[in-house]
Amino acid sequence: MSGKKEKVRSFIIENFLFGDDGGLEDHTSFLEEGIVDSTGIMELMLFLEKAFGIKVEDEEAVPENLDSLEFIEAYLDRKTA
Protein backbone atom coordinates (compact mmCIF):
# COMPACT_ATOMS: atom_id res chain seq x y z
CA MET A 1 0.00 0.00 0.00
CA SER A 2 1.31 3.40 -0.91
CA GLY A 3 1.98 6.10 1.62
CA LYS A 4 -0.61 8.27 -0.13
CA LYS A 5 -3.33 5.65 0.21
CA GLU A 6 -2.45 4.98 3.85
CA LYS A 7 -2.62 8.71 4.64
CA VAL A 8 -6.08 8.96 3.02
CA ARG A 9 -7.24 5.74 4.71
CA SER A 10 -6.27 7.17 8.11
CA PHE A 11 -8.15 10.40 7.36
CA ILE A 12 -11.31 8.51 6.32
CA ILE A 13 -11.18 6.23 9.38
CA GLU A 14 -10.58 9.11 11.82
CA ASN A 15 -13.06 11.59 10.33
CA PHE A 16 -15.87 9.47 8.92
CA LEU A 17 -15.68 6.05 10.60
CA PHE A 18 -14.93 7.27 14.13
CA GLY A 19 -11.76 5.22 14.44
CA ASP A 20 -13.28 1.90 13.27
CA ASP A 21 -12.16 0.82 9.82
CA GLY A 22 -15.30 -1.36 9.52
CA GLY A 23 -13.71 -3.50 6.83
CA LEU A 24 -12.76 -0.53 4.65
CA GLU A 25 -11.25 -2.00 1.48
CA ASP A 26 -9.33 -0.18 -1.25
CA HIS A 27 -12.31 -0.56 -3.61
CA THR A 28 -15.08 0.29 -1.09
CA SER A 29 -17.34 3.04 -2.52
CA PHE A 30 -17.55 5.86 0.01
CA LEU A 31 -20.87 7.05 -1.43
CA GLU A 32 -22.57 3.66 -1.90
CA GLU A 33 -21.62 2.57 1.62
CA GLY A 34 -22.72 5.88 3.15
CA ILE A 35 -19.23 6.56 4.49
CA VAL A 36 -18.96 10.04 2.95
CA ASP A 37 -21.80 12.39 1.95
CA SER A 38 -21.64 15.55 -0.16
CA THR A 39 -20.34 17.60 2.76
CA GLY A 40 -17.78 14.90 3.45
CA ILE A 41 -16.58 15.06 -0.14
CA MET A 42 -15.79 18.74 0.41
CA GLU A 43 -13.85 17.86 3.58
CA LEU A 44 -12.01 15.13 1.68
CA MET A 45 -11.11 17.54 -1.12
CA LEU A 46 -9.75 20.08 1.37
CA PHE A 47 -7.73 17.34 3.08
CA LEU A 48 -6.24 16.17 -0.26
CA GLU A 49 -5.33 19.73 -1.21
CA LYS A 50 -3.63 20.42 2.11
CA ALA A 51 -1.98 17.01 2.59
CA PHE A 52 -0.66 16.63 -0.96
CA GLY A 53 -0.20 20.24 -2.11
CA ILE A 54 -2.63 19.94 -5.01
CA LYS A 55 -5.71 21.84 -6.20
CA VAL A 56 -8.80 19.70 -6.77
CA GLU A 57 -10.57 21.42 -9.66
CA ASP A 58 -14.38 21.43 -9.69
CA GLU A 59 -14.49 19.16 -12.75
CA GLU A 60 -12.23 16.67 -10.95
CA ALA A 61 -14.63 16.31 -8.00
CA VAL A 62 -16.29 13.21 -9.47
CA PRO A 63 -16.72 9.67 -8.11
CA GLU A 64 -14.16 8.36 -10.62
CA ASN A 65 -11.53 10.35 -8.70
CA LEU A 66 -12.80 10.47 -5.12
CA ASP A 67 -15.13 7.55 -4.35
CA SER A 68 -12.67 4.94 -3.07
CA LEU A 69 -9.13 4.62 -1.79
CA GLU A 70 -7.96 3.11 -5.09
CA PHE A 71 -9.62 5.89 -7.12
CA ILE A 72 -8.04 8.55 -4.90
CA GLU A 73 -4.63 6.91 -5.14
CA ALA A 74 -4.82 6.87 -8.96
CA TYR A 75 -6.05 10.47 -8.97
CA LEU A 76 -3.19 11.60 -6.71
CA ASP A 77 -0.68 9.72 -8.86
CA ARG A 78 -1.93 11.64 -11.93
CA LYS A 79 -1.99 15.00 -10.11
CA THR A 80 1.47 14.63 -8.61
CA ALA A 81 3.21 12.98 -11.58
pLDDT values of the chain reduced to their tens digit, one per residue, 81 residues: 579 999 999 999 999 999 998 789 999 999 999 999 989 999 999 999 999 999 999 999 999 999 999 999 999 999 988
pTM above 0.75, yes or no: yes
Look up the CATH number of the domain holding residue 70: 1.10.1200.10
Query: Is the Cβ–Cβ distance between 72 and 7 less than 8 Å?
Result: no
Written as one letter, the residue type at 9 is R
Tally of domains within the chain: 1
Query: Is the Cβ–Cβ distance between 52 and 4 less than 8 Å?
Result: yes
